[in-house]
Structure 1
Amino acid sequence: MLYFCSTGRLPFVGRNPHHLLKLLLGGEYPDPLRLHPAIGAELAAIMQKALARDPADRYQSAAEMSASLREFLSEMGIDDPDETLARYLKAPTKVTAELRETSLERLIAIGAQASNSGDVPKAQAALSRALAIDDGNEKALKLLGSLGRRRRRGAMIAAALVAAALIGLASWVYSAWSSAPLPEELARRSDERPTPDDTKPSMVEELPGEVEETEETEVAQGASDERSVEPEEAAANGRRWVVFKPTPPNVSISVDGAPPKAYGPGFQKIRLKVGTHTFRFVGAEECCEERVLRRRIPPGARDYELVVKLKYEPARLYLKGPAPANASVRITLPGNQRVSGRIREILRIPMRSLRASAQVEISAPGYRTHKSVVKLRAGGDPTEHSFSLEREGETP
């Protein structure tokens, strides 16, 4: 009954008795949130628990389910369900409008509070439901945009803390290793047979385990260039130019914890002491995931090229327009990359470049397929794209 009142259809609808029995035994029914997004994830979760395939996962009594429903209503500001129902039966249109406005206010308040406390799933659920009720609500869209930025900042801080811990551990290990005396036999052989090769950096020392293959290739090439440098010259040259080769180029770079500087004509390389350094790359306007590298710069006369590729953040797209709850969305990107989703949710679209144009297709039974083109940008706030569906048989 709750499923029917919330979605307008029964959970199990079969083509024949045999098919219906199969659906019942398998617990296969449409996601109520997909059928009617305005009900929200919390009410959908109550229905899903009541319809769980395993009896142990269901509510064990009507009182238990009633308590969950009352808690859901209380959070939405309905403390006396009986009184609200009586008012609705007397003036359904008026009370429906009142409940809609009250629900929007409560959902935005819940989303803001959850966002401030760091409860991202609850904030997303509340704000997504608010947009399902009012697809152009500016407050909900703004909160969702700030929520995405807060999540990225949290990930960046966590990555920086991990990098700092690894740097500290590596420094301690290096100090312990460097203070340990060499075996006497090894020292004797080194004194007896000095060769220029003894001054060459170890390829194993140069490359940390997480470095990409492209970077390994670049370092190996740099090492081969150094073979022409005399050992005395390399030892005397305690500094080396490090040339940055970032992709994308619109990044800021921090070296050894210094404030980040924007990469550009005025900052493309830096002269550093030979040894291990830490580099942090941050994409402009939140376009990419931050990346921290720890790299050993070996002695050498030529410039040392540091090639780094950042991963683009997904673009976020919000489709704004009237459509039935069962409408489907398909986004096609260059290279025939496709993303599917549903109306009234913010779609996350993987990006292979900073900007890209994508084709939007929205279809629903009884309506003509809507096709349009939208311009997307990696990271940042959601892109709003308006549309309208025409019923089949209508004159455009």
Structure 2
Amino acid sequence: MIGQKVEKYQVVEEIGQGGMAVVYRARDTKLERDVAIKILHPHLVRQPEAVRRFHREAVTVAKLHHPNIIEIYDYSGENSPVHFIATELIDGVTLNAFVERHGALPCELAACIGRELCLALKHAHDLGIVHRDLKPENVMIRRDGKLKLMDFGIARALEVSTLTMTGAILGSPAFMSPDHLSGRKVDIRSDLFSLGSILYYMATARFPFDGRNPHEILKRVAEGDYPPPQEANGAISNRFARILEKLLQVDPADRHPDSKALCRDLEGVIAEAGIENPDEETYRLLADPARRLAEFIARLKARLERQAQEAIRRRPAAAMEIYNRLLAMEPEHPEANRQVQILAGRLKRQERLRRATRFAVAALLLAAAAWTAYYVFKAFRPPPATIEEARAEMRQDGPLWSEPPEQSEPPADEMRLPATPSDVVRPAPPKPTLPRAERLTELEGRRQTPPPADGVPPKEAFGALQVHTVPWADIFVDGIYVGRYPTEINPQSMRLKAGKHEIRLENPGFEPHVQTVVVDRPDQKVVVRERLRMRPALLDLKNDQDALVFIGGEFYGRTPVKKPIEVRWSEQESKKTLLVNLNKEGYAPFNQFVTLEAGQRKALAVQLRKK
């Protein structure tokens, strides 16, 4: 095709090619401008499916008008002998080539680039168009630093059914969403998953889902199996890591709901870094990456140092996190190494104080419980049966109210014994120190069914079990599996006969919950609501150098440890990536992000090196 003329376009040179078409640089002879012309492969012209896809791309891109989306100039039409699309010519490189050349970007700059792509996607999504093939090769960077999203070859409108052949997969497997991969209906959240993969790639210089062959890659995408971001690059901030983890969720419902919500989160990362104009920062970086990247990293380090200094007094754990991030960026950073040693000692003292406080509070609670039990026991004692018992009890307890002055007893010969027991006047029992408690005789849900008045036998009692747990749980009734909340609930299996039943909720990463319920009346609702308590993750730390151990900023004692360290976290997540930090004076600190799983054991061997 080089040297030939296609309508008004003189083909100059080939730029690239793919499975459907070849892209050439061409000259518009009428408007005297250079364009990119995409020509469908000749062997595909006779395939109606390929022609429809090509036509759909032209129609789709023509609807989009956004500074970050490639602009279409011309289209041949479906009946032309040569099928082509003419677009603006992008003089630059792909995002993939940019990262390969310059390596992983600071997560704040990755957020700036991601924000521009997010705004472009928002424009397409607002028009009901899903890209479906987002990847670094489809993002172009112009020489002036402008980003352009291109290749809407398999994009489609949300209301249009897919035109792919049965069993065919359109898109790039390493960046496809699990819902796209499984053949389910895709929506805007599928594009957000792919954008999350691009953000991960920019911040780590590695694909989130990688493998030895396409089958292994597809399996990892379907299972959401990827290295945690902070394991791939320890300089990634916690805030940015949380965004990636949310975007790369297997279930679309767990991702950001739309592009606007994602833009908001990315702008939070950008603001945290003190970037006032993200558009300008992006242009400057992409136009002159060699110089601007070094300048930005220097500014970022200085800002992190200031933030750490501000957090040292009131938030030492946060300061430790910032210094560890600095050490991931520059392992020999002198100030960070010095402050980590100081903070390690301070956090150790704080941990000792917390333990002492917990012990004191426990002792006070135990004493209060014993005191309360003593007086409750006294309140429930039976009244004395004789005068002698009453007097003995009053002597033991002391007077509970003012007594009248004692009178001297008359001589024995003047005392008169009563003739009958009815003449005996028993003294009132001593007043208790606490009012007598009345035991409740009926509990809610356990009232007895009244006997039938008309002789008709009562309706047989059946209860309806309703279970609500955080997180999911397998449900067992009297040792028999009946379903999983919330995905596998069968109303029939949740019916309970009259009597007592043991309800057991199980989740591998959480402590089981066991509860006994009673069904004793017809149509009784038995509701079990429970937030399962997470099992601790076990870290088998091997080190015998008497080093201070910090996990996720919390002090866990000194090495060597005799048994695996139990690690818990507040979020209801079965997996958590935490920074493991070992410090000893005279040795280089050890910092490594480790992914722990609730209820599972992980081994970590550490050998500190002398400075």
**TM-score normalised by length of structure 2:** 0.30
Relative to the length of structure 1, the TM-score reads: 0.44
Higher helix share: 1
